[in-house]
Amino acid sequence: MSAPALQLANVSRAYVQGDNVVPVLGGVDLTLQPGEMVALVAPSGSGKSTLLHLAGLLEKPDSGEVFIGETATAALDDGARTRLRRTDIGFVYQFHHLLGEFTALENVIMPQRIAGLSFDEAKGRAAEILTFLGLAHRLDHRPAELSGGEQQRVAIARAVANTPRLLLADEPTGNLDPGTGEHVFATLAALVRQSGLAALVATHNLELAARMDRRITLRGGQIVPMA
Ligand code: ADP
């Protein structure tokens, strides 16, 4: 059996503010298998961003271990963490953060070039993913020439351009009207199913959460399953 895409093992994180210690996560365990889509539905201030940052190797836990695939990351230096983030983890945010002066195709080519692919390889793969996401007719459009849903689909294409094993999404449809959000979610789900990547999706949208494989929330610094 293949390794989990993501494993948090007894992960704790607190923030120090002056003399105060604010505990956020206290001994969190979470495993995402390849191909699994998990909804993280938690109130503001409960530690959602902290959890996503830890899983995305943007922050380090105070204690515990974060595995990306079979790699334990706690002892890695910053360079190794950055490389692992680049190759194994994709991020999608509420706002697309595409580069405005570049086309959809170029926005998806770029992370692949940074990861060392040739231009032709990167271009071929960018066109393939954008086509899968229904954007074959928008390859040469700049973000300003795309609708909100199209922009977000380009952001998803960029996030998976380097075939990560893990996708972390923070309110990926939060900025879209319900119909468009539904379409973007369906496209994302199809991509997860097709590619076997694991996705952790923070959302307040209970309808979308209901369509994922599992729902979790954060309570008192612990991950608990939602009913
Ligand atoms: P969420 O994403 O669920 O809103 P966060 O993970 O951003 O929650 O934050 C959880 C708690 O940790 C909050 O009480 C927040 O104020 C606190 N916190 C987050 N980041 C920092 C920081 N850099 N310094 C101090 N406190 C922080």
pLDDT digits (tens, 9 = 90+) for 49-80: 999 999 999 999 999 999 999 999 999 999 99
Whether 165 and 197 have beta carbons less than 8 Å apart is answered as: yes
pTM exceeding the 0.75 threshold for the entire prediction? yes
Measured between alpha carbons, how far is 175 from 154 in angstroms, rounded to an integer?
A: 15
pLDDT digits (tens, 9 = 90+) for 79-101: 999 999 999 999 999 888 999 99
CB count, 10 Å around CB of 197? 24
72 close to ligand 1 (CB < 6 Angstrom): no
Closest CA to 27 of 71, 60, 65, 68: 65
44 close to ligand 1 (CB < 6 Angstrom): yes
If one residue of 41, 50, 62, 201 were mutated to test the ligand 1 pocket, choosing by the most ligand atoms within 8 A of its CB, it would be 50
